[in-house]
A and B are shown apart, each in its own frame.
Chain A
Amino acid sequence: MNMLDKKIDRRRGLLVCGLAAAIVGQAALWAPSALAESHVVEIRDFQFAPEALDIAVGDTVTWVNMDIAPHTATAVDGSWDSGSLAQGDEWSLVIETAGVIDYLCTFHPQMVGALNVE
């Protein structure tokens, strides 16, 4: 192998290493969203179903109102609020913090639910 060939070979090696690093980097960036799950909470007969939901940070929760009456899904601490959901409406939220998040329907405060986020 002459000097020129060695240089080209070295450049190829660097290029391969660079590409590999880029792919690993991308994979690391994509990993959380690839693992994130979606969950559905049905609002039916004035109850959140399931009433308690175990999820992970990064997961998406979608509330779907099956009742005739309008409802909301609203964090007790006021950090998020679906607003009024008419029958058939749905609303989604990506959960970004761990812990127990209690929520309720502001129109019918006896309706309560909880997200247990790990």
Chain B
Amino acid sequence: MLRKTLIAGAALTAVSMAALSAKAEDEGPNDLEIAHIAYTAGVIDLRYAHLALAVSDNADVREFAGTMLRDHQAVNDAALALLEKLEAAPQDNATSQSLLQQAADKRAELIALEGKAFDKAYADNELGYHQFVNTALAETFIPAADNAEFKALLGSALATFRAHEKHAEKLVKNTR
């Protein structure tokens, strides 16, 4: 009985891994690459939020940054928990590297600013960044994801980031 259970468990794990494993190249990013891109995108916004909290005295900016810290950390924690459950590791890729380079450039721009100029630039960047990420999730990554649990997680993440996008629209107005 125990042996049968172990075999069944191993088979399930194999199925999960297969669902998250690399697909043919012409089918776009695989689940492990998407996981890496989504996690990286979250880390980037966490870094922007830490910068805002270090630089800005604006109450709206600080409140927004605090929300980004809470929510993006929760989403990334949920992603890591799912990957651990599926015994899968995110796969680094060119898109993740490109996102990190763009973010490093943007951070260099932001660090050179202060006061209202920083607040406005941070707000504009948060709106643009969330619009970009949400479009990529909705139109590319969620349709491309194979594993049902992973696809559902991305859907929940998108709901979170869409709320952030609306919040960022208000922040842009408040920091003009």
Contacts and interface: CB of A to CB of B under 8 A. Distances in A.
B74 interface: yes
Contact of A107 (B70, B78, B157, B159): B70
Contacts of B75: 68-69
Contact of A110 (B70, B71, B167): B167
Interface in A13-57: 45-46
B93 interface: no
Contacts of A45: 159
Contacts, number: 38
For chain B, the bracket of interface size reads 10 to 19
Contact of A108 (B67, B74, B157): B67
Nearest to A108: B163
Contact of B156 (A68, A107, A108, A110): A68
A69 B162 CA distance: 12
B160 A68 contact: yes
A108 B71 CA distance: 10
Given A46-B159, A46-B160, A87-B78, A69 B166 contact: no
Interface residues of A, number: 12
Contacts of A86: 74
A107 B67 contact: yes
A110 B167 CA distance: 8
Interface string B139-176: 00000000000000100110110110011000000000
A73 to B, nearest CB: 16
Contacts of B159: 45-46, 67
Given A46-B160, A67-B159, A67-B160, A87 B67 contact: no
Nearest to A46: B163
Contacts of A87: 74, 78
Given A108-B163, A108-B167, A110-B166, A68 B74 contact: yes
Contacts of B71: 68-70, 107
Interface in A58-99: 67-70, 84, 86-87
A79 B159 CA distance: 29
Contact of A67 (B67, B156, B166): B156
Contacts of A110: 163, 166-167
Nearest to A45: B159
Contacts of B78: 68, 87
Contacts of A67: 156, 159-160
6 contacts: A68-B74, A68-B153, A69-B70, A69-B71, A70-B71, A108-B67
